[in-house]
Every structure is written in C-alpha cells, then in structure tokens.
Amino acid sequence: MKSRNRIYTNNEIVVFWRGGDCMHSTLCFSELREVFDPIKRPWVNLQGAPTKKILDIIERCPSTALTFRWVDEARNESETSHKLFKGNIETFL
C-alpha cells in the first residue's frame, strides 16, 4: 500500500504530513487556506504564507499529522517544539 505521508518544503522549514494521523479538525485549511487547501493538488503550498504563520498552525494542530524540521540543522538542535519531526526522513514516505 502506498504511504499517505507527504513532505513539503520552503527555504526555511520542511513540513511532514501523516495522512493516517489526521483528525480532520479543519484547523489548517480553515485558518490558513493560502497554505492548506484540500481542493488543490498538492494541497500544501508553503509559499502561501510566512513560515511563522505556518508554524503557528502546525503547533495548534490537535494531532501528530503535521510536524516540521528546520532546513538549517543547527536550529533543530535548539528547537523545543513538541511538533519537531525527529524521525527518519527516508522511512517516512
């Protein structure tokens, strides 16, 4: 079976979406439609808003469906967010 997991990136962060973990709270697309639009493909466009706004939605997501990593690895070492992706990217997909 093909994984529903997806990876999206901009110049600052990498966003990991686990389709199987999504609770469908609609928080992401009801509050930041310019980034999260379930009608479009791909449904995530990280160019649609500043990274700070995207991270706010990720932090507020009630599930583990949305997580992230900084492109700058040094920032990951000091990141305290519980939404920081700590898994293996190669096995994520």
Domain count along the chain: 1
| Residue 1 included in any domain | no
Domain span at residue 15?
A: 6-92
In a domain, 11, yes or no: yes
The pLDDT confidence band at residue 15, using thresholds 50, 70 and 90, is very high
- Residue 2 is predicted with a pLDDT of 59
Q: What is the CATH number of the domain that holds 85?
A: 3.30.70
pLDDT of residue 1: 45
66 close to 83: Cβ distance less than 8 angstroms: yes
Report angle CA 34, 37, 42 to the nearest 5 degrees: 105
82 is a domain residue? yes
Strand pairing report for 13-17 and 6-9 = antiparallel
Residue 16 falls inside a structural domain:
yes
Has residue 66 got a pLDDT over 50? yes
- Average pLDDT of the residues in 40-69: 97
The structure's pTM equals 0.93
The pLDDT value recorded for residue 90 is 85
Residue 31 domain-assigned (yes or no): yes
